[in-house]
Amino acid sequence: MQGMLAFQNAPPFAAPLRFFLTAPLFSLAAGLLVAAGGPELLESRWTPGLLAATHLITVGFMLQVMLGALIQILPVVAGVNLGNPLRVARWLHAGLSAGVLLLAGGLLLGQPAVLSAAALTLGLTIAAFLIVTGRALSSVPSTSPTIRGLKIALVGLAGAVALGALLALALARGWAIPLPVLTDLHVGWALGAWAGILLAAMAFVVVPMFQLTPGYPARPGWWFPRLMLGLMLAWALAVLLDAAVAIRLIQAAVALLGIAFLLLTLRLQMQRRRARADATYRYWQLGLAGAIFALAMLLTATAWPPLADLDGWSPFAGILLLVGGFMSFIIGMLYKIVPFLAWLHLQNQAKPGRPVPNMNKILPEVAMQRQMRAHAAALVLLLAAAIRPDWLARPAGAALALASGWLFYNLLGAALRYRLHLQELDREAPAA
Partner 1 sequence: MSHPKAPHVVDARYMEPPEPFVHTIEMLDTLKPGEKMLLLLFREPHPLYKVLTQNGHAYETELLADGTFEILIWR
Least spacing, CB of residue 344 vs partner 1, in Å? 8
Contact 41, 47 (CB under 8 A): yes
Nearer to partner 1, 123 or 221 (CB): 221
Residues 6 or more apart in contact with residue 152 via CB below 8 angstroms: 193, 197, 225, 226, 228, 229
Least spacing, CB of residue 339 vs partner 1, in Å? 12
Contact 203, 269 (CB under 8 A): no
Nearer to partner 1, 157 or 207 (CB): 207
How many CB atoms sit inside 10 A of residue 44's CB? 14
Nearer to partner 1, 212 or 277 (CB): 212
Contact 160, 190 (CB under 8 A): yes
Nearer to partner 1, 202 or 385 (CB): 202
Helix (H, G, I), strand (E, B) or coil at 95: helix
Residues 6 or more apart in contact with residue 230 via CB below 8 angstroms: none
Least spacing, CB of residue 82 vs partner 1, in Å? 14
Using CA atoms, how far residue 75 sits from 12, 72, 78, 80, 143, in Å, is 12, 7, 6, 5, 14
Measured between alpha carbons, how far apart are the two ends of the chain, in Å? 20
Least spacing, CB of residue 217 vs partner 1, in Å? 5
Contact 258, 295 (CB under 8 A): yes
Nearest to 42 by CA among 411, 412, 382: 382
Least spacing, CB of residue 340 vs partner 1, in Å? 7
For partner 1, the binding residues (CB under 8 A) are 1-3, 5-7, 9, 75-79, 143-144, 146, 204-205, 208-210, 212, 214-219, 221, 273, 340, 344
Least spacing, CB of residue 312 vs partner 1, in Å? 40
Nearer to partner 1, 5 or 240 (CB): 5
Least spacing, CB of residue 133 vs partner 1, in Å? 16
Using CA atoms, how far residue 26 sits from 8, 278, 373, in Å, is 32, 26, 20
Nearer to partner 1, 219 or 427 (CB): 219
Nearer to partner 1, 9 or 138 (CB): 9
Helix (H, G, I), strand (E, B) or coil at 295: helix
